Structures are given as structure tokens and as C-alpha cells.
Structure 1
Amino acid sequence: MIKLQKPLVLTIGMIPTAALAQSSSIVEDLQALKVKVAALEEAAKPKCPAENSFQIGSLCIFDPLKNYGLDYGGAFALCKAFGADLCTRSEMSVALSANANYCAYGWIKGLEQGPDDNFHRVGRTVMPRSIQAAGCGDAVGLVFESNEDISGVQGGGLELATHRSAYCCMQIEPN
């Protein structure tokens, strides 16, 4: 082993041209790889579905089916398939305050206090209406269907087997 008395200093002129060309190629490859990684990271971020969706800040609300084909369990499962959850009443209120306007009753999640003073999971169906529209009724606001649900709670509960649409919510990066 050779011991150096002074630090070894190399100048560009002392490095073979082939080694310089190779290191330049490695730097370019690393830069290209960084660009690809950034694109993949961006693509992996949750996004609000383009069709039939409404975004308020980081909250995305969407109706993936757009028809009355789902019972409560199917609505729950469909939202999960999109990486979302059924919206809560408060999330729907946020959407309504930002002028969300849908013309379909959709399932949302919720708990209601039943006649036994215990809380039960019930299916709630709501239509967020910021304006009146032909064919959607005259009501404006969070319009709940007012049937009786399986736990006996009045005002907005339905049998969980009733077919409606679904309102799914997910958190995403703001626009």
C-alpha cells in the first residue's frame, strides 16, 4: 500500500476523456430517472374522477354510477373500489355550500339514534340541490328522502336494500 504525504489532486486534464463522457451520461440518466419518478408519483396521487365529480379544496365528491342501481352495501363497496368512502352529512353540507347541484338521491353514511336510545348504522339518501331544476323537484338544500328505515328512525332513512345512487368522498390534493 502506498501512503501519500499530500492529498492527491486531479485536474480535468488528468482524467481520461472516456471517463468524463461516461460520468456525463450517468448524470443525464439520473436526471431522466428523476423526471420519470416525479411523473409516477403524480400519477399515483388520488384524483377526483373527471366525470360527475365536484371538488372543494381537498374534498372530492362524486357519484360513480349516476343511476339508481345500488343498495346501501353496493354503494359502500363501490366507493371503496374508488379508494373513497360514502360521504357524511357534513361533507354533503360542504358541497352544498359550494353550490353542488345533483338531481339524484344517493346513499351517504350516518348514525342515527333509534327508539331504544342506541345509535344504529342507517342508510341515508340525500340529493344536494343548490338551485331548482325541472324534473328534480322544487326543494333546495340537502333534500333527504323521508321514509322509515329499518331501525324505526323517521326522516331520511330507507331500507338498506332500496336502490339509489351513491355519493362517494375522498381527500385529494387541492387544485
Structure 2
Amino acid sequence: MLGWAFEANVGEVKSALEKRGKVKVELIMIRPDTLAEGLKATQPEMLFSPLALPDIEIKTEKNGKEKQVRVTLKGVALFDRKHRRTEYKHAGSGYVSAWYLDEDYDGDCFVDCQMFFDFRKKPALSKLGVEVPDDEFTLKLTSDPFPVRGYKRIAVKVVDVYGNESVVVRDLAT
């Protein structure tokens, strides 16, 4: 399937279609800049990129009477066109530039509740009089704990080093 944008639950739909029978679904993003005059990619191999589906782990824990959740980004699965197979990239491999967590996804609007970035180079914040520990500039793979809320669903958005975005949605068991 080729597209400029995919719904957040595309991974679940893909899995459901593949479970029905002998069909393999590959999700390929068409670069949005191919539509803009003057920004068109000139090399054919740059026109399409595989949609990487985030691989996450959800753990629940008790904090007194309240149930809290932590999400860990394990990696992303992407389709390697050259070898015609799905390739797995671990979250700490340098392929993921950033990931975002919507702690109470309503199925419509993605709200960044927690954001995690991988800085290739530490910003020169000391010139501004700001001191930040070095570990704050590396990609954190596990979220801070948060309570289960009204919609009882989360969404995780991953941005890769090429600027491609992909989202996975999961229901939280109550």
C-alpha cells in the first residue's frame, strides 16, 4: 500500500488483514515533498520509504491504589525494499530520532504527553547559563509512569532519522 499519510491504527489493520489469509501487506510512504514544486526528489530511490511500525512494551505497576503504566520503545520494523524483507531496528540503534507518547489517545488527535529525543550533538546550552546532565541528550527508551485515563488507549509516534513518522495505538487492559 502506498500513501502520503496513514491512520494511527494502520499497524492493527495490517495485522488483521494478514491474519485473514495469504496476504502480506507492506506499507510504503510516498515522500510528501514530491507534491511540492521545486522540492521534488530527483532520485527514484528517494521517492518512497517503508513505514516503520513501532514495537513497544507496556508494563503496569501499582502506585498505592492507582494503577500506572510505563511504555518502552523496543524498536521499529521496516520493509527493506532491496532485499524484500522486513528489517528490525532496535530503538537504541541510532535509527530513531525521536518518539512521542499520547497517554490517553482519543482516536482522533495525537497529544504529545511525553517526548523523547536523540541528540547527535550536545547543544551548547552552557553559553545560555543552563546546565543539563549529559544523559538528557540521549534517547530515553522508557517513559515516565502515568495513570490509565478515560480513553484507556495510548499512541506512540516514532520519527526516524529520515524524518518519516509512524504511529502505533494500543488499548490498555484495565
The answer to whether TM tops 0.5 is: no
Rg larger for: 1
TM-score band by shorter chain is under 0.3
More strand by share: 2
Whose relative contact order is higher, 1 or 2, with alpha carbons under 8 Å and at least 6 apart?
1
User: TM-score w.r.t. structure 2 length?
Assistant: 0.26
More helix by share: 1
